[in-house]
Amino acid sequence: MLDVAALELRYGAIRAVRDVSLTVGEGELVALLGANGAGKSSTLRAIAGAHKPASGTIRLNGENVTNQSPERMVRNGVAMVPETRDVFPDLTVAENLRLGAFTRRSDEAGVDEDTQRMFRLFPILSERAEQAGGTLSGGEQQMLVIARALMSRPRLLLLDEPSLGLAPTIVGRIFDMIAELKSGGLTMLLVEQNAAKALAVADRAYVMRSGEIAAEGTAADIAAASDLKALYLGG
Amino acid sequence: MTAYIQFLIDVLSLGGAYALMALGLVIVYGILRLVNFAYGELIMVTGYTMFLLGGSALPWIVMAAIGVLMAILAGIATDYVAFRPVRAKSVTAVLITSFAFSTLLQNAALLFISPRPRNVPLPDIFSETVHFAGIVTPARNLITIATAVILLAVFAWVMKRTVLGIAMRAAATHFTMARMLGVPANLIISTAFAISGFLAGIVSLFWIGRIGSVVPGIGLEPLLVAFIATVIGGMRSLQGAVLGGFLLAFIDTGLNYSLPQELLKFRDAFTFSLVILILLWRPAGLMKGPASGQRT
């Protein structure tokens, strides 16, 4: 479904990502692992259209989508759950969700139905529906951001560090959620620092180190690789 | 008692106009973090459209509608001419292009029309006065208040209840994230400029209605008023802009009432002194805008 080839990303003179190639098949959950600053989030942002690649190609279902705008990528069926948990703090939970369905705004019945579905999936959001997004706890904000991304009915979901800064019990709930979405057939690319959790749910994994792919394989292979720690520590 | 009501009507009618002006400026600023210095010329455009239509047999309300429409088009043109080509590059560049566009429009009016004031058609009701409960006030003031109340209510409804309004509020907080939800950047920015033009056009009808004529520099004072009102209210907050508009009108009117005749010509000095005091007390304005402030 997603095919990234020889991707290079720059921030000014700095090459943040070099020669990254990866694929995500239909229905697959692929994890992109690595230490802080390895270029995982940049890669994800480039796929979402929020960072223009210096070179390389991004293909979606065979179609070249390399330089498309973020809003176009959403219409292509790609939704992003950003690392920084960008809820819109002044917008209520319900408004955040409604905005997630911006590309299908004419389909009011469908949007209402999906909102109810999200409220069933994340009951806490339904209790907080009229509260401003900024007043939610970290875990609730993470649920809101995931729910908001799902409102566009994506075919590919990009998740950037969904466990970052959350309490262990909440992390567990978030990963249960991811597993549930996977069993529902959703294709996902998951960026994580929490390798153990990510490998437990993923089909395949890539490990990035200083902007390059350092290892790839099935989740089991990567989990079994003895040098995983070394990859993380940059050894 | 009647003096108070008189004062209240004066504050509300001036404040209504100020609030709409400030709102038109802040709607663009909130999203782009850039002050549109060609904003005053939108008011000028409506004025000259009215002047040019003045000789025709059209009813006033049709002329006014065309005038407002021209301001909307001029607003969108500002985006295409001054903002869009250089938006991604540098803040300074946009500052200069918006000044340039402002000067261009003013000079066009100087060259093709005249530096001298030109009369603008006014509806009869603008020159009528209303007497009630011992108060004498121009009907125009009451119409201004009613228009401001209606437009502010409609504006609040649009921003609260429509998807486009929610998207505009979201874009003012975090533009890239809004785009990653599928909100098209250009649609949001053009809409902001169109709303800005609409508000400027409406305000223009009342602003010019007080004077009865239009000159190329007519937009300077409204721009200044809108800018000061948004600075007092908080540059990033829509409610702040409205509050700032009414507060500025309160200060202006209050000084008009209380200053002795020989000091009245220094009214602006008093106004700005008070504005400085407010800013010393609340440097970021009275109302805080949305949390984050990334530029696009």
* Predicted ipTM of the assembly: 0.87
Which of chain B's residues have a Cβ under 8 Å away from the Cβ of A105? 163
For residues A43-61, average pLDDT: 93
Element (H, E) at A229: helix A228-233
CA–CA separation, A178 and A159 (whole Å): 10
Among A224-233, B42-51, B89-98, B205-214, the range with the most confident prediction by mean pLDDT is B42-51
CB-CB contact of B159 with B168 (8 Å): yes
C-alpha dist (Å) from residue A198 to A11, A32, A149, A155: 28, 9, 19, 20
Banded pLDDT at B265 (limits 50, 70, 90):
confident
Greatest CA separation for chain A: 54
Element (H, E) at B39: helix B39-53
With CB atoms and an 8 Å threshold, state whether B169 touches A88. Answer: yes
> What domains can be seen in chain A, in order of their start residue?
2-233 (3.40.50.300)
C-alpha dist (Å) from residue A149 to A70, A198, B172, B181, B193: 13, 19, 19, 7, 28
Domain membership of residue B251 (yes or no) is no
Which of chain A's residues have a Cβ under 8 Å away from the Cβ of B163? 98-99, 102, 105
- The H helix count followed by the E strand count for chain A is 10, 10
Q: Is A42 on the interface with B (CB under 8 A)?
A: no
Nearest CA in chain B to A80: B180
Nearest CA in chain B to A86: B177
Nearest CA in chain B to A111: B163
Domain membership of residue B95 (yes or no) is yes
Task: Give percent above pLDDT 70 in chain B.
Answer: 97
Q: Per-residue DSSP letters for B57-70? A: ---HHHHHHHHHHH
Which pLDDT score, from 0 to 100, does residue B175 have? Answer: 87
pTM of the model: 0.87
Task: Give percent above pLDDT 90 in chain B.
Answer: 56
Domains held by chain B: number:
1
CA–CA separation, A33 and A213 (whole Å): 10
Banded pLDDT at B296 (limits 50, 70, 90):
very low
Domain membership of residue B173 (yes or no) is yes
Compute the residue count for chain A: 235
Which of B169, B181, B185 shows the shortest C-beta gap to A102? B181
pLDDT digits (tens, 9 = 90+) for B127-143: 888 888 778 888 899 99
Which of B173, B177, B182 shows the shortest C-beta gap to A75? B182
Residue A134, min C-alpha distance to chain B (Å): 9
For residues B268-294, average pLDDT: 80
pLDDT digits (tens, 9 = 90+) for A156-190: 999 999 988 888 888 998 999 899 999 999 999 99
Banded pLDDT at A12 (limits 50, 70, 90):
confident
Q: Is A50 on the interface with B (CB under 8 A)?
A: yes
With CB atoms and an 8 Å threshold, state whether B290 touches A90. Answer: yes
Which pLDDT score, from 0 to 100, does residue B60 have? Answer: 92
pLDDT digits (tens, 9 = 90+) for A89-118: 889 999 999 999 999 888 889 999 999 999
Which of chain B's residues have a Cβ under 8 Å away from the Cβ of A86? 174, 177
Residue A95, min C-alpha distance to chain B (Å): 7
For residue A235, pLDDT over 80 is answered with: no
| Burial of B277 from C-beta contacts in 10 A (0-12 / 13-18 / 19+) | exposed
pLDDT digits (tens, 9 = 90+) for B150-201: 999 999 999 999 999 999 999 888 888 999 999 998 899 999 999 999 999 9
HSE at residue B293, side-chain half, CA atoms within 13 A, is 8
Domain containing B183: what range?
22-219
Which pLDDT score, from 0 to 100, does residue B84 have? Answer: 87
Which pLDDT score, from 0 to 100, does residue B211 have? Answer: 86
Which of A89, A134, A148 shows the shortest C-beta gap to B181? A148
Q: Return the closest-CA partner of residue B91 out of B23, B167, B36, B171.
A: B36
Residues 6+ apart with CB under 8 A from B59: none
Phi and psi angles of residue A219, each rounded to the nearest 5 degrees, phi first: -55, -40
pLDDT digits (tens, 9 = 90+) for B60-116: 999 999 999 999 999 999 999 988 888 777 888 888 898 999 999 999 999 999 889
Q: How many CB pairs under 8 A join A and B?
A: 71
For residues A76-93, average pLDDT: 88
Which three-class secondary structure state does DSSP give residue A63? strand
Q: What is the mean pLDDT of chain B?
A: 89
Q: Is A61 on the interface with B (CB under 8 A)?
A: no
Residues 6+ apart with CB under 8 A from A32: A22, A40, A43, A44, A189, A190, A191, A192, A205, A206, A208
| Residues pairing with A207 in the sheet | A33, A215
| Burial of B58 from C-beta contacts in 10 A (0-12 / 13-18 / 19+) | middle
Where does chain B show beta strands of DSSP type E?
Answer: 118-119, 129-132, 135-138, 213-214
Output the CA angle A131-B171-A170, nearest 5 degrees: 45
Domain membership of residue B185 (yes or no) is yes
Which of A74, A75, A99 shows the shortest C-beta gap to B170? A99
Q: Is A132 on the interface with B (CB under 8 A)?
A: no
User: Which tokens in the block code for residue A215?
Assistant: 């290892």
Nearest CA in chain B to A148: B181
Residues 6+ apart with CB under 8 A from B19: B148, B152, B229, B241, B242, B244, B245, B246, B249
Domain membership of residue B259 (yes or no) is no
pLDDT digits (tens, 9 = 90+) for B254-264: 999 998 888 88
